[in-house]
Amino acid sequence: MKNKLITIELDSFNDIPVVYYKGKRLTNIIDINFSWHTDTEEQGEKKLDISYADTEEGVIRGIKEVKI
């Protein structure tokens, strides 16, 4: 089975999302943005941007992937 890039789980719309990125659960999520755009039936532009607090290091970390 192919590993998933990102999984976002919500039991209800008001819950804090549970996020897995490349199989690893991310904690202390600050911001999640995912967008996908196309004007045709072909693959379109995709953007993924996640910010989370690394409490061990005391810094804000980010994940960004863009496919144009």
Instruction: Say if residues 18 and 11 touch (Cβ distance below 8 Å).
Output: no
Residue spans per domain, the chain: 6-67
What does pTM read for this prediction? 0.77
Residue owning tokens 């089975």: 1
C-alpha distances in angstroms, 14 versus 2, 11, 17, 23, 47?
30, 8, 9, 24, 24
Q: What is the pLDDT of residues 13-36, one digit of tens each?
A: 999 999 999 999 999 999 999 998
What is the pLDDT at residue 39?
79
Using CA atoms, how far apart are residues 68 and 51, in angstroms rounded to an integer?
Answer: 21
The model's pLDDT over 46-57, given as tens digits with 9 standing for 90+, comes to 899 999 999 999
